[in-house]
Structure 1
Amino acid sequence: MLRTLPVLRAGSVCARVRAAAAPASALTAARTGRRGMTSARSYQGDVSEKETIVKLLYNIGSKKEVEQYLTYFSSVESHQFAVIKVGGAVLTDSLDSLASSLTFLNRVGLYPIVVHGAGPQLNGLLDDAGIVPDYIDGIRITDEKTLNIARKVFAEENLKLVEALEKLGTRARPINGGVFTAEYLDKDKYKLVGKITHVNKALIESSIRAGALPILTSLAETPDGQIVNVNADVAAGELASVLEPLKIVYLNEKGGLFHGVTKKRIDVINLDEEYEDLMKEPWVKFGTKLKIREIHDLLMRLPRSSSVSIISADHLHKELFTHSGAGTLIRRGHRIFKHSGPKAISNTDVDKLRTLLSENDPQIVDGSTSVASYLKSLESKNATIYGDTGYDIFASVITPEDATEPFIVEKFVSTKNAALNNVTDNLWSVLRKDFKSLAWVVRKNDPNLAWYFERADGSYTENDLVLFWSGVENLDLVQKLVARFVTPRSGAAGPVKINPAGTRSYSSTRVGLFGHQQRRGYATKTSPRKVGIIGARGYTGQELIKLIDNHPSLELSHVSSRELKGKPVADYSSSQVIYSSLSPQDLPANTDVDAWVLALPNKICKPFVDALEGAKSKAVVVDLSADYRFTDSWTYGLPELYGRDKVRQATRISNPGCYATGSQVALAPLVKAGFVLPGLSGVSIFGVSGYSGAGTTPSPKNDVNLLRDNMMPYALTGHIHEREIGHQLSRGFLSNTAPLEVAFMPHVGQFFRGISLTVSIPVSKAVTPEEVQALYEQTYAGQKLIKVLKVGEIPEVRDIQNKHGVQVGGFAVGSGGKRVVVVATIDNLLKGAATQALQNMNLALGFDEYAGIPL
């Protein structure tokens, strides 16, 4: 379920809220800091480096999302951004990911405070020493021998993290004592275990002022100087109680809390509304119950702006900087009340409601109506009204006279304070629980329009208004809804009506409701479509998993890898998926899978395809190998060049190669315009790829020692991409003529990802660089994943890495205007493989082509 930042406008349904921020520049806030912490808040490195890091964050979320969260996190003093508790297992298994994540945060001017444990490491050393760990009520009994070993292992693990950060250029300060003062928890029962009584935040603030991340252990001292052991979760909680940070983050290997029945990751828990019922669930027991109770008790002591995230180190950025998140977000929220009408509200509360509406409802603010008139109008309607105890939010839902029709969300008014404290999200969740069907209207230019589409089962757009509905399955009833909302009523308190005589939004594919065309997947929302990946151990498979994890309408159901069988899929946070090892015969049996992606080496896919064909499976198959790129019954999936309609109708799609995609983008405009003749020899392509293109299986082409200070040519003639490029361009643009022949010379460079292609093209008539550039701009106008540079601008690999498109430029002309040189760059793992596969899947399954692809 989406977690979104609102742009609050009274009178319209607000988006679901994780956090909120003022529209100030995030970079400005990050540089200047707040309230006396300027030197700490300002990153000492080059400003351009900070901006580069921020741009990297755009790969996991939109620019707007990232800057909103940066502004929000930068709005408090540095030590109030986040307390991050790191488990000992994370230090052992994910140290590099953790150090990288913390470095990213620091590069944008943030100073998370880290407190870590070392339980698994301590258990290992105790076992070596012949000491059997002993626990009472989940608390480790700590005698002198255990404590001595604990002090040693804590210091070692603390130093490991500090050194890992320093290697990345991030200043960090190890703090092994002096922060926590404690008394004995129960000396007779637990021995040297402490209960924290005081937190000395001066040491933390000193570290931040010096520009260093504070890295704390959870050891404490009694007033007389005795070192005592404290559970790291408890230490993090006590630290948070004193600092009152915006975020408390618990890093674990699973990446969140998972529902005991559905096994799905729990996205959000709103404690005020859900805590009591949640604690009664039969699967909430033992450690899970204790964890939720401790977090509840902690947040009850903190401001409502504070929240807890449970997440893995790998997905920390996505959890902090995107609306959708990646782990489990736990917050207080606000308790929502409901009444059968305005008369049920007490006189005192009516005054609070009057203040809310008079200050935040635009129709009342501009004088179109008054509070008294609106409340009186509700008395004559069968209305249910909602609000929160502080009267920061109000909604009215009208019950229709015809019981078959949906309930109408007539008004939804919220203060900024409600947005900051997540009340809007709580209220919307309550409405969806209380009413089986709803309808509402918003403006087409509303910044939260995408969120409304996610929440709705269907929509109808007329001029600048959009009618949404949810839980309405009868198309005749939908027609009645549209007929009811016909003529706009100026100044009305209720929904604005719309005229059905116009055209629908998102219309282009097949005839649908009211005779207009509608794009598959937009008119009627369905449950997520299931995707299975065969051969996901490689780099491309991992990138595709990440993309599906961020897709609004896809769900990963199977991930097959013999080497990783039984292990959890680390890059997928939407639910818990375990690697399996599927045989070809297993695929037809999984009839609920809507699309299979074959991420296998060449010449291995056929048994899987044959099994699906034999079972007459209608599942979409996207093959990333070269096995079917020359098979006429398969659709070659390069939408920008060969059209989208064939892909929309296809169930068997051959995904183009990475070199071949970039090369065809570089050649196609000239070929299509008739400048390149089939019989004209001399088209040559010099390509250099990062070593990720050689896959994960060890070979000389991905051996970093062999590639250091080196570039390695290979397959200088007869490479399969050479044939693929000529074959597809000829079939697409040169029908009934001799095939186009190209010479392709691939190389491997010492960088990890990305491809540079320098293409030399003899042309049939003289051209100028400006004419060539104009031809490319015209050819690729409107293509969101192809960027055409200006004359003389040459694409570079570093600018395309981790990007989802192709850059094409250079446009040099020689030999009297008869030879054109074009340079193209592409990320071989993304547009060269995973992103293109997702494009093709989106089209074949009826979604927007770019759904789930960061643009």
Structure 2
Amino acid sequence: MLARPCMRALGRARPARVSAAAVCRAAVRPALASGYATVSKGTRHEETSARSAVINVLQNLGSKREVQQYLSQFQSVSSQKFAVIKVGGAILTDYIDVLCSSLRNLNQMGLFPVIIHGAGPQMNKLLGEAGIEPQYSEGIRITDGPTLGVARKLFLEENLKLVEALESWGVRARPITSGVLMADYKDKDTWKFVGEVNKVNTDPINAAIADNYIPVLTCMAENNEGQLLNVNADKAAAELAKALVPLKIVYLSEKGGLHNKDTGKLIEAINLDEEYDRYMNMPWVIHGTRSKIRDIKDLLDHLPRSSSVAIIHPESLERELFTHTGAGTLIRRGTKLHKASSLSEFSDVHKLKEVLVRDREGLDAEAVVDRYLDSLKGKTFAAYHDEGMEALAVVLPPDSSSPSGLAHLATLTMTRSAWLSNIADNVFQHLKNDYPKLAWTVKQDDENLTWFSEKADGSIARQGEVLFWYGIETPEEVRELMAEFIQHGRQMFGDNNLESQLHRAASGALRIKDVAQKLQQHRESLGQQTRSFSTSSFSSRNMQRVRSTFGTPTRRGYATTTNPNPPLGIKNQDKDYPSKIALIGARGYTGQALIDLLNRHPNMDLRHVSSRELKGKKLAGYTKRDITYENLSPDDVRRMADAGEIDCWVMALPNGVCKPFVDAIEASSHKESVIVDLSADYRFDSSWTYGLPELVKRSKIAGATRIANPGCYATAAQLGIAPLVPYLAAAPANPTVFGVSGYSGAGTKPSPKNDVDNLTNNLIPYSLTDHIHEREISAQLGREIGFIPHVAVWFAGIHHTISIPLAESMASRDIRQLYQDRYNGEKLVKVIGESPLVKNISGKHGVEIGGFAVHSSGKRVVINATIDNLLKGAATQCLQNMNLALGYAEYEGIPLS
């Protein structure tokens, strides 16, 4: 498998859309509510179940195989050698619950990180209150007698605070405030009572871990005379790490890593062996940053190459420890790579052959690799590998005459050890340095798909293959590359069939020059008609689309989806590049709202609008083309479907009406086109995908062709209840939703529920039991939910008051944090403190959730949720589903302000 990057060592999964701490709290905390002692004294089954629950949750961050691989690595060393975690003072103030949640999860898996904390911000505050002006020299606090007194008292208090917080989370922790760090005066005349660690006594740490306690240390040291000395927390953590030799050293920082002060961008990795001098010569690397990098190099020079330092946000602790993607800034000594441009430059060609054979299955593996190597003789290529060839990349550089300058990554192979020692990232850093533009293909079921997406600027999928690229910036280049991949796919960018690849390599078919020529031909064949479609918005919007196909929201701020459906407009090589849309049933308010959204969408083209009442009238508000309302029958739809005229059908019909139209499409020769149904007809059909992206896996929606759009009441109610489902009291104590909608929810057909005169100074209840949304909410959440709908005099917007009985006593603050964690990164869900108001949500495309009023018993909470029933309750959500299913960025065409 040489024609595509091949990495079998570890599995990959999509990045989680919520923090690991939040998911783990929701999944595991009920089982541990009575504290760690209960678990530790329980049965082996209880311990195993709790551990499995945590591991299952971690698989939201990485694949099961990946998590297990790292867990096995961590458990292969003695407990105190797993990790040293330095906790900054700001973390203890602002993120203590997040930290405790993560540490509890690690502890539940049998891991005992050694914690050492500082208290800088708290120290500055107390000194200010005492009228003491902090003094520094070379970035180190000068600690005179009064300052030392304040520091000693503060460190004891902060240590106890963290230990008690961990205990409240069911984690046994032991405070260790002396007897570990021994020190000499750094320079008494300059820094007064500041110490420089000269010895670390690990006995108290080992004893704590042997007793199943997580050790929690302060950064106070003492000299041989027993004098307390203040030690810089980073330096104390480094000396502790030198003594314990852990696999991981983690510095938790509210900034989440080191940032390049010239660009403002996060530095994801620093390989000291190759980049230390370069960073130290950068003009912005001064003062604290310079000292930090220098001290980390000194630390890692004393440790095995397997050790690394990560500077991360506390919310990213599990991601850093258990995934290749990691988080924040990873600093390691690195592995120097060798570069070869011909086979003769390899010192051991036999070893090269072995490396290539290890990823090739079948009895003919050696013969196939021999032919592959023969095909490289006399060709221009660049190979990157480490000394032991744990990692190997082969790149076909761009032809000198190529206008695009696009290189092709033909081969990439990694061993497990290369993954765990981060050589894979080092290889890609070299590729990005040497090749500004690079493309490569991966099988869509590749176990490392997410890792590739982290390295790419964009991607597109087709027939089980994914094309990734970086460095392509202009809309035209992106458009053409995508079109070329869809038309020529494997022939141009790689193939998992090595025999076919060899034939093409030998004949020069993989030359980037050929790609460039074909792209130019494609540009000419497309002509002005294609480019005339939304070119002004393509740069910002379509770049978001192509990046988000397999993107990572935590770093790029857009949806993460795994989409097997290419945009059909490209697939069909239609000159009208945007996807072609038909709207069946457009007279209602929702249809009009969707038309407005489609009019702004750069990659969707509304072709047909059907309405019996409006037949023959011109569609107003759509400016891309002139459209006249039609009265399409199921036979008309069948004819259009057979002709492949439509990529996506939107059914905006009343309940019970759309089945004949769906049946017509199902019976056509193009039944693979997407259908999104806005009615309730298919919301309970298991063969259809329920399209609520914030609660249903986006990959499932992206892979669907039959999507049931949720109801407006049901969307807001589910989002308002979902984070608390693990905490619900047992039946028959079920949540109750009191919902009030504006009269647009009653439709355009005149009735007492949309008669403004009847609604003025009035509130109309209806369908007080067994409403269709009551059944929908209950089915999706897996719990019986009571729903009581009403209609009021305003036009658009829904307000829910949701009463939720809880299985255990909870505080309002903790509940709100659950919601904030659960919907972190969701662009259309906003969690606020106060109760949201309808007037603030009308005309907006999201949902607001707030209130969080807890009954005095602590076992019932009332939550409010608001939604515009025509937008996120219908049209906006429909467009989210259409975007995902058609291969566009989830929020394409949706105003997010």
TM-score (norm 2): 0.55
Opposite residue 756 of structure 1, the aligned amino acid is R
Tell me what 1:841 maps to.
880
Q: Quickly say closer, same or farther: Cα 1:722–1:266, change in 2 above 3 A.
A: same
Q: Is the 8 A contact 2:339 2:383 kept in 1?
A: yes
Matched, 1:361 2:357: yes
Tell me what 1:397 maps to.
395
Distance 2:543 2:743 in 1: 28
Q: Is the 8 A contact 1:687 1:758 kept in 2?
A: no
Tell me what 1:199 maps to.
200
Matching residue within 715, 720, 723 for 1:693: 720
Q: Secondary structure at the match of 1:281?
A: coil
Q: Quickly say closer, same or farther: Cα 1:429–1:124, change in 2 above 3 A.
A: closer
Matched, 1:757 2:784: yes
Higher relative helix content: 2
Tell me what 1:319 maps to.
320
Q: Quickly say closer, same or farther: Cα 1:721–1:265, change in 2 above 3 A.
A: farther
Tell me what 2:93 maps to.
92
Q: Is the 8 A contact 2:9 2:414 kept in 1?
A: no
Q: Secondary structure at the match of 2:366?
A: coil
Tell me what 1:420 maps to.
420
Tell me what 1:253 maps to.
254
Correspondence 1:62-461 to 2 at 5 A = 62-344=63-345, 350-351=347-348, 354-358=350-354, 361-362=357-358, 368-369=366-367, 378-399=376-397, 403-404=401-402, 406-438=406-438, 446-449=446-449, 451-452=451-452
Q: Is the 8 A contact 1:839 1:850 kept in 2?
A: no
Opposite residue 418 of structure 1, the aligned amino acid is A
Matching residue within 9, 13, 30 for 2:5: 13
- Tell me by how many angstroms 1:206 deviates: 1.3
Tell me what 2:50 maps to.
49
Distance 1:163 1:252 in 2: 21
Distance 2:736 2:446 in 1: 53
- Tell me by how many angstroms 1:317 deviates: 2.8
Q: Is the 8 A contact 2:7 2:415 kept in 1?
A: no
- Tell me by how many angstroms 1:267 deviates: 2.8
Opposite residue 254 of structure 2, the aligned amino acid is E
In structure 2, the gaps of 5 or more residues are: 14-39, 511-521, 527-537, 559-588, 605-618, 622-648, 690-712, 751-765, 775-779, 788-818, 825-862, 892-897
Q: Quickly say closer, same or farther: Cα 1:620–1:125, change in 2 above 3 A.
A: farther
- Write out per-residue CA displacement over residues 346-368 of structure 1, whole angstroms, 9 at most, x where no aligned residue: xxxx14x5335335534699663
- Tell me by how many angstroms 1:95 deviates: 1.8
Distance 1:498 1:842 in 2: 42
Q: Quickly say closer, same or farther: Cα 1:381–1:420, change in 2 above 3 A.
A: same
Distance 1:134 1:62 in 2: 49
- Tell me by how many angstroms 1:156 deviates: 0.6
Q: Is the 8 A contact 1:173 1:212 kept in 2?
A: yes
- Write out per-residue CA displacement over residues 19-45 of structure 1, whole angstroms, 9 at most, x where no aligned residue: 999xxxxxxxxxxxxxxxxx99x9995
Q: Secondary structure at the match of 1:757?
A: coil
Opposite residue 783 of structure 2, the aligned amino acid is S
Tell me what 2:849 maps to.
none
Correspondence 1:318-717 to 2 at 5 A = 318-344=319-345, 350-351=347-348, 354-358=350-354, 361-362=357-358, 368-369=366-367, 378-399=376-397, 403-404=401-402, 406-438=406-438, 446-449=446-449, 451-452=451-452, 473=477, 489=499, 492=502, 618=601, 693=720, 715=738
- Tell me by how many angstroms 1:79 deviates: 1.4
Q: Quickly say closer, same or farther: Cα 1:828–1:378, change in 2 above 3 A.
A: farther
Distance 1:573 1:458 in 2: 16
Q: Secondary structure at the match of 1:264?
A: coil
Distance 1:172 1:367 in 2: 54
Output the aligned Cα RMSD. Answer: 6.3
Q: Is the 8 A contact 1:256 1:312 kept in 2?
A: yes
Q: Is the 8 A contact 1:179 1:220 kept in 2?
A: yes
- Tell me by how many angstroms 1:171 deviates: 0.5
- Tell me by how many angstroms 1:399 deviates: 4.9
Q: Quickly say closer, same or farther: Cα 1:469–1:166, change in 2 above 3 A.
A: closer
Tell me what 1:582 maps to.
none
- Tell me by how many angstroms 1:302 deviates: 2.1
Structure 1, 328-337 or 225-234: larger mean CA deviation: 328-337
- Tell me by how many angstroms 1:93 deviates: 1.7
Between the two structures, name the one with larger relative contact order (CA 8 Å, sep ≥ 6): 2
Tell me what 1:592 maps to.
none
Opposite residue 386 of structure 1, the aligned amino acid is Y
- Tell me by how many angstroms 1:174 deviates: 0.4
- Tell me by how many angstroms 1:455 deviates: 5.5
Q: Secondary structure at the match of 1:385?
A: strand
Distance 2:874 2:452 in 1: 25
- Tell me by how many angstroms 1:216 deviates: 0.5
- Tell me by how many angstroms 1:213 deviates: 0.8
Opposite residue 381 of structure 2, the aligned amino acid is A
- Tell me by how many angstroms 1:411 deviates: 4.4
Q: Quickly say closer, same or farther: Cα 1:441–1:435, change in 2 above 3 A.
A: same
Q: Secondary structure at the match of 2:198?
A: strand
Opposite residue 499 of structure 2, the aligned amino acid is R
- Tell me by how many angstroms 1:184 deviates: 1.4
Q: Is the 8 A contact 2:392 2:414 kept in 1?
A: yes
Distance 1:17 1:281 in 2: 36
- Tell me by how many angstroms 1:97 deviates: 2.0
Q: Quickly say closer, same or farther: Cα 1:635–1:322, change in 2 above 3 A.
A: farther
- Tell me by how many angstroms 1:70 deviates: 2.7
- Tell me by how many angstroms 1:173 deviates: 0.3
- Tell me by how many angstroms 1:323 deviates: 4.0
TM-score (norm 1): 0.58
- Tell me by how many angstroms 1:230 deviates: 0.5
Q: Quickly say closer, same or farther: Cα 1:250–1:222, change in 2 above 3 A.
A: same
Q: Quickly say closer, same or farther: Cα 1:494–1:483, change in 2 above 3 A.
A: closer
Q: Secondary structure at the match of 1:424?
A: helix
Q: Quickly say closer, same or farther: Cα 1:422–1:483, change in 2 above 3 A.
A: closer
Opposite residue 124 of structure 2, the aligned amino acid is N
Distance 2:466 2:221 in 1: 59
Opposite residue 427 of structure 2, the aligned amino acid is L
Opposite residue 425 of structure 2, the aligned amino acid is D
Identity %: 37
Tell me what 1:594 maps to.
none
- Tell me by how many angstroms 1:371 deviates: 9.2
- Tell me by how many angstroms 1:689 deviates: 10
Q: Secondary structure at the match of 1:403?
A: coil
Distance 1:415 1:514 in 2: 44
Q: Is the 8 A contact 1:123 1:133 kept in 2?
A: yes
Q: Is the 8 A contact 1:101 1:316 kept in 2?
A: yes
- Write out per-residue CA displacement over residues 371-400 of structure 1, whole angstroms, 9 at most, x where no aligned residue: 999777655223333333454434443457
Distance 1:461 1:306 in 2: 40
Q: Secondary structure at the match of 2:306?
A: coil
Distance 2:429 2:79 in 1: 33
Q: Secondary structure at the match of 2:67?
A: helix
Distance 2:542 2:738 in 1: 38
